Amino acid sequence: MSNEPSYLVADIGGTNARFAIARGSVSRGFDLDQVRRLKNEDFEHLRDAAMAYLESCEGDRPGRACFAVASPIRAGRVQLTNATWSFRPDELGGELGMDTLMAVNDFEAQARGAPLTPSVDIVEISDGRPVAGTPVAVLGPGTGLGLGLLVPDGDSVKVVATEGGHAGFAPRTDIEIEVGRVLAREYGFVSWERILSGRGLVNIHRALCQIEGDTWPGHRPEDITREALADPASTGARVVEFFCAALGGYAGDVAVLTGARAGIYLGGGILPRIRTLLEASAFKSRFLGRGPMTRYVSDIPIRLIQSDGAALRGAAALAEQGNLHS
């Protein structure tokens, strides 16, 4: 394995940056070594975090890198959507001593890495019969709400990065309409990300407190999920149930909008922590509630990615692909 290609890979969100050395290939799979998570707030620049990681690593440094970042990717400078860091990939690669450094959207990497995730890290939320030749959608709430697509392209796949989390929230129940109105007064446009993210949990909690005339206790996302897991009668539990039902609606919308009948992967940082609540929630019934399109979505397999390695493996796969095309 030491003779296999290696890549410096990173998954950089609004709160944390995870780095690893990936070894292997798409055909064999990727092993992730020396995985470390750094807090963004501890470093002024991404360069500082990347240098700190490399200084902590043993062995030879890879010559190629791929960083998956929570941002739309354009030529030139990359600015993270929910963080202050910005960088130019060519300049950063030079500073880190890399021959090449690619920057890709985090959910482009998450999408590419989803089918490379070891089966031990996958939980079947809904079994199904995938339709060959159709896309796979990968979505997940974390600091934001990401959406990426895998589209068949001959013997390989194309990865389509999207900003689907910023599509408009579509409430379907009376309480969802009320919450949407509260958030619309505050934000104007209410995207799915305003609901389905860490901040979304807080938004739902604040809105429910306002609707019910209660004082908001200032809970953070982790406070809400902890309360929900501990007490099924708590406000936190109602927030998480709202969240999971809305996620089912969003995932169903994604399926019919993109034709993703080969499967839906659920990723992001929130869902693995609330897996038991997700499985017991209205997620699946909301996903299936499509009126005349219920049969269209009924056989779509839905899988939860339990580990946080998909984006790192996807970054390695994209680095390998970029190297093959260079």
Residue numbers belonging to the annotated binding site: 10-15
Mark out the alpha helices in the chain (DSSP H runs): 46-56, 89-95, 106-113, 174-187, 198-211, 221-230, 235-258, 275-280, 283-288, 294-298, 310-325
Beta-bridge partners for 36:
19
Annotated binding site for ATP: 10-15
- Element (H or E) spanning 302, and its range? strand 302-305
Phi then psi dihedrals of residue 201, to 5 deg: -60, -45
Distances (CA, A) of 36 to 12, 57, 83: 12, 10, 19
The Cα 141–Cα 145 span in angstroms is 4
With 0-12 / 13-18 / 19 or more C-beta atoms within 10 angstroms meaning exposed / middle / buried, residue 43 is middle
What does the longest C-alpha to C-alpha distance in the chain come to? 64
